[in-house]
Amino acid sequence: MSFDPELFIHAMSHRAPPYILEHLNLVLIPMCIAVLIALPTSIMLTRPAYRRFTSRIMAVFNAGQTIPPLAVIAIFFPFLGLGYAPAILALSIYALLPIARNTITAISSVPQDVKEAARGMGMTPWEVLRKVELPLSVPGIMTGIKTSAVLTVSTAVLAALVGGKGMGAVIFAGINFFQAELILAGTVYIGIMAVLIERMLTLLEWYLSPSHLK
């Protein structure tokens, strides 16, 4: 396989850019779905009434992580067929675990004496969650979301295999036609997206973090 700089520049400037937005969709939509599912579920699982279910629900999330995304697509193939929807579904399931795990860890590690004192001062359970547990858990929760987001940026490449498009289309085209230039161009964009998304989430984390940590 030879490397043609001109072809690489062409790939960087013309072949790959149209797929950037598609790829971002493949990251943002599953991430939103995963956050919307994992966050409330994990918050609920840290409440005393539901704590006993934690290990079971976490087992489901763990399974979501161990099954390769392609296998998830295979499982849902009879119902959703190929294309965009199964790709989104597989990526969402894949993104759940890091968010859930980090959220549960973060909320559980809020010091017991702080929660006890808050309760002893007369905060209702809802006030303790909203004013004490969640603010103190922001760094942990954001770590989970960042891990998940970066993971999804690279995993979303596989979406192209089931017709889900995205930057994977460029990379797999490169693999099929033995064009390293395309593979490299796609990978560079994947890297840039991963770094930028991580930076943006870090900014968001700083904004949301409790003020004593700033």
Partner 1 sequence: MIELINVTKIFPGAPSPSVDNVSFRVNQGNICVLLGPSGCGKTTILRMMNRLEEPSSGKILINSENTLKSDPSALRRSIGYVIQQTGLLPHRTVARNIALVPGLLGWPQEKINSRVDELLKLMGLDSGDIADKYPHQLSGGQMQRVGVARAMAADPPIMLMDEPFGAVDPIIRIRLQDEFLKLQQQVRKTICFVTHDINEAIKMADYLIIFNQGRLVQMGSPVEVLTSPADDFVLSLIGDDRGVKILDLTRAETLMEPADNISDDLLGSGCTVQSYQPVKLALEVMMKKNQDRVGVCRGNHLAGTLSWSDIKRHINKVSGEESEL
Residue ranges binding partner 1 (CB under 8 A):
111, 113-114, 116-124, 127, 131-132, 135-136, 210-213
CB-nearer residue toward partner 1: 6 or 113: 113
Going by the DSSP 8-state scheme, the letter that residue 82 receives in this structure is S
CB-nearer residue toward partner 1: 39 or 123: 123
The vertex-180 CA angle with 183 and 198, nearest 5°, equals 30
**One-letter amino acid identity for 123?**
M
Cβ 37 to partner 1 shortest distance, Å: 27
Cβ 121 to partner 1 shortest distance, Å: 5
How many CB atoms within 10 Å of residue 24?
A: 17
CB-nearer residue toward partner 1: 138 or 183: 138
CB-side neighbour CA atoms (13 Å) of 141: 25
CB-nearer residue toward partner 1: 4 or 116: 116
Are 20 and 157 within 8 A, CB to CB? no
Cβ 153 to partner 1 shortest distance, Å: 31
Cβ 130 to partner 1 shortest distance, Å: 12
Cβ 203 to partner 1 shortest distance, Å: 19
CB-nearer residue toward partner 1: 52 or 212: 212
Phi, psi of 113 (to 5 degrees): -65, -30
Pairwise CA distance, residues 207 & 195, whole Å: 19
Cβ 108 to partner 1 shortest distance, Å: 16
CB-nearer residue toward partner 1: 2 or 52: 52
Report the candidate in 169, 195, 193 with the shortest Cα–Cα distance to residue 182.
169
Largest Cα–Cα distance of the chain, in whole Å? Answer: 71
Helices assigned H by DSSP within 109-179: 112-120, 125-128, 134-155, 168-176
